[in-house]
Structure 1
Amino acid sequence: MRKLTALAVAAALALPAAVSAQVTGPQIYGRFHLSGNHMDNGDDSVQNLSNNSSRIGIRGSLELSEELEAFYQLEAGFDADHGKDGELASRNTFAGVRGAFGALQVGYFDSPVKNIGGKVDLFGDRVGDNGNIIRYGFRFGPDNLSFDERQKNMIQYTTPTVSGLQAQLAYSTNVDSESAEDGTDNHSYMAALHYTGIDGLYLGLGYQVYGEDVVEYGKEPSIIRLGATYTLGNLKLTGLAQQASDITANGDDAAAYGLGAAYTLGKAVLKGQFYLLDHDAQESDANMIALGVDYKLNKNFTTYVAYSRLSNDDNQKLRPYADGISDALGAGTAGEDTQAFGVGFIYNF
């Protein structure tokens, strides 16, 4: 890591002397996140050590003028549990410009709707991640897409924040390949509003629609998602509601609702959340509860324990560990209750 940092500093110092613009970075950052888990799909159980979205990246900015700044980020995931090579730019990777007008960026990065779901999740990248309901309960099409994706070929404009209100508009020119064929409806439109004008309060409202050729059954899946957090002293409350349309060839709709609370007690955070899936398809509802404790040893190092249980209707087979951790145990028989327990640590650098 010292050699890598030295190379980055040397590269910055090697810029031509004629370049007087202010340069920030390149900054190297990342996260190690590992956990030991017990997982039970109702038919079988397994114990494993899992990598939970460990990553490394480089980011920075360059002043182009007094009013304009360029920025960039390149991020890759890696498997900290068994050393498998990660793909370069496999996570949020983009470049753009920003100024008084807002920010314009292009690349491969999280959609505005996905970001709202992440802001309200108290168990992100671990057992009980809310994506086990709001993502895996809403998958569609031959590629099992959802509304919680990093979108390919994405262009996004973010407005300045005015009186606590900020808007985002985004467009994916082609969702699932490098270039779209003429006449195909293979894109996605996205928009979001974020409000932070009251101390301790966050509100997010997002919308996304996919083109009919993305799913190959003549429908245009869409979603509206509302997320909220409120912090009062040591207490944090979270909530989410979403409604999706046309997520099956039959035109089925689905909704999800979630509530959560976290309380900071010294270096510990006690927390829990509950999510409910209401699916139009017959006997396809589900609900999930997650309970856990985080303990922060310092600002960059956190240990935790987490437990989650997910109850399925007769035709549903979701799991509380499919999203957020390395899934070493697939789905069991439909209708089975599933559960998981994890002990892990997160080191940010």
Structure 2
Amino acid sequence: MKKKLIAIAVGAAMAVPVVAMADVTFYGRAHVSVDYLDDGADYSETNLSSNSSRLGFKGDHQVNPDLKAFFQIEQQINFTTGSSDGDSTSFATRDTFVGLGGNFGEVQLGRFDSPFKVARGPANLFGDQVGDMRNLTRFGNGRFDERYDNTIQYTTPTMGGFNAKLAYSMYEGQWAVEDEDSDAVSMSLNYAGGPLEASLAYEQVEEDQGRGERDGIRAAAAYKLTDAFKLVGFYQTVDHDSPVQAERDAWSSNVYGLGGEFAVAKNTALKAMWMTRDSDADNADADMWVVGVEHKLDKAVRVYANYAIVDNDDNSAQVPWEQARSANVRSNAGLGVAPAGEKASGLSVGLRYDF
């Protein structure tokens, strides 16, 4: 009898961690590319780049039939150097949150992409690649594609294909500071149904937030004209309230563009997009063209090749490879001086493995 009781106790003890971890998933993305980058001035080199690669844990727990708890912890990883990106002592640098969900929708708290940032999704044909639209939308201190700290977000239930997100970032930094106004509000209305996917978003940030006071509107849409062809469109307007006129003009702009994706075979697609940045500053506009082909080896692994060009006005210095990638160098980068008025291009061959 004693031996049976001991065996039962040991078995129960061993089963506890298994039960606790039953709804927790380990996941990640290894996304690496070989790129030839030419900024049109003095820099033209071949690079190996890690493109927003990450590792994470996520899970949920059913509290009762009407309520569940969920969490996510995610860290960016540089697969070309074998280290985490950013501060080597940090963890959970990407979307990390905890929340509750049910018939009322979802409430989550932590650090994660704003509704405004996520709203580019329907038109984001080249995300985390050479030609990413953020090379034009995420400009200087007028940038909006942010992941805010100390945020609480409410997501409505989906009704008729529609849902809405409302997020409030209470303050920037570890804790709130007296007489500091660094909060942010971000919201979006989203639709997915039939051939159409679309988002409309607004964001407003106060003056003491690290990049200053600003507000913006963003709209993105994708429409499947046929089973093989998808048309996408994007529009964004950003106003920055810097007290310095030159900065206000440089960081305020309209960005818009059109693109398409055509399935030439079951797992192979051709993609193309044109975008333009219309700056409030004189002679500071830029156009970007991107073409690419992507082939999915299976659900988890894909390979692709892209070619992108940014054509700058005399006072613009954009390149098509600077965002969401470890290979983001350009000539004179160490001096903080970028070549303006040039035509910058990038040719990229990549491998993405989602696990």
Using the size of structure 1 for normalisation, the TM-score is 0.89
The equivalent of 1:320 in structure 2 is: 320
Decide whether the 8 Å contact of 2:50 with 2:327 is kept in 1.
no
CA–CA separation in structure 1 for the residues paired with 2:256 and 2:167? 25
CA–CA separation in structure 1 for the residues paired with 2:209 and 2:327? 26
Q: How many residues align?
A: 326
1:245 aligns with 2:239: yes
Decide whether the 8 Å contact of 1:127 with 1:324 is kept in 2.
no
1:155 to 139, 152, 168: 152
Decide whether the 8 Å contact of 1:208 with 1:224 is kept in 2.
yes
What are the within-5 Å matches in structure 2 for residues 161-180 of structure 1?
A: 161-175=158-172, 177-180=173-176
From the superposition, tell whether residues 172 and 63 of structure 1 become closer, same or farther in structure 2 (CA, over 3 Å). Answer: same
CA–CA separation in structure 2 for the residues paired with 1:246 and 1:146? 9
Q: SS state of the match for residue 209, structure 2?
A: helix
Summarize deviations over 1:270-308 as a string: whole Å, max 9, x none.
010111100101111101000000011111110010000
What are the within-5 Å matches in structure 2 for residues 1-349 of structure 1?
A: 13-14=15-16, 25-43=23-41, 44-86=43-85, 87-136=90-139, 139-140=140-141, 146-175=143-172, 177-196=173-192, 198-214=193-209, 220-231=213-224, 232-246=226-240, 248=242, 249-250=244-245, 251-252=248-249, 253-266=252-265, 267-330=267-330, 332-349=338-355
Q: CA deviation at 1:327?
A: 2.9
From the superposition, tell whether residues 152 and 53 of structure 1 become closer, same or farther in structure 2 (CA, over 3 Å). Answer: same
CA–CA separation in structure 2 for the residues paired with 1:108 and 1:29? 18
Decide whether the 8 Å contact of 2:120 with 2:199 is kept in 1.
no
Decide whether the 8 Å contact of 1:112 with 1:192 is kept in 2.
yes
Decide whether the 8 Å contact of 2:121 with 2:220 is kept in 1.
no
CA–CA separation in structure 1 for the residues paired with 2:211 and 2:55? 35
Structure 2 counterpart of 1:282, one-letter code = D
For structure 1, the residue ranges without an aligned partner over 5 or more in a row are 1-9
Q: CA deviation at 1:163?
A: 1.4
Decide whether the 8 Å contact of 2:321 with 2:328 is kept in 1.
no
Q: Which moved more, 1:243-252 or 1:99-108?
A: 243-252
Q: SS state of the match for residue 298, structure 1?
A: coil
Q: SS state of the match for residue 214, structure 1?
A: coil
From the superposition, tell whether residues 214 and 12 of structure 1 become closer, same or farther in structure 2 (CA, over 3 Å). Answer: farther
CA–CA separation in structure 2 for the residues paired with 1:183 and 1:106? 24
Decide whether the 8 Å contact of 1:45 with 1:329 is kept in 2.
no
Structure 2 counterpart of 1:174, one-letter code = Y
From the superposition, tell whether residues 343 and 95 of structure 1 become closer, same or farther in structure 2 (CA, over 3 Å). Answer: same
From the superposition, tell whether residues 78 and 260 of structure 1 become closer, same or farther in structure 2 (CA, over 3 Å). Answer: same
Structure 1 counterpart of 2:164, one-letter code = A
Q: CA deviation at 1:324?
A: 2.9
For structure 2, the residue ranges without an aligned partner over 5 or more in a row are 1-11, 332-337
CA–CA separation in structure 2 for the residues paired with 1:129 and 1:247? 26
Using the size of structure 2 for normalisation, the TM-score is 0.87
Q: CA deviation at 1:325?
A: 2.0
Decide whether the 8 Å contact of 2:317 with 2:339 is kept in 1.
yes
Summarize deviations over 1:114-167 as a string: whole Å, max 9, x none.
11113311111111011101113xx21xxxx62101111111000001111111
The equivalent of 2:5 in structure 1 is: none
Q: CA deviation at 1:16?
A: 10
Root-mean-square deviation over aligned CA pairs: 2.1
Q: CA deviation at 1:180?
A: 2.2
Summarize deviations over 1:16-37 as a string: whole Å, max 9, x none.
98x9xxx862101111100000
Identity among equivalent pairs (%): 37
Q: SS state of the match for residue 315, structure 2?
A: coil
Q: CA deviation at 1:77?
A: 1.1
Q: CA deviation at 1:333?
A: 1.3
Decide whether the 8 Å contact of 1:112 with 1:206 is kept in 2.
yes
Q: SS state of the match for residue 178, structure 1?
A: coil
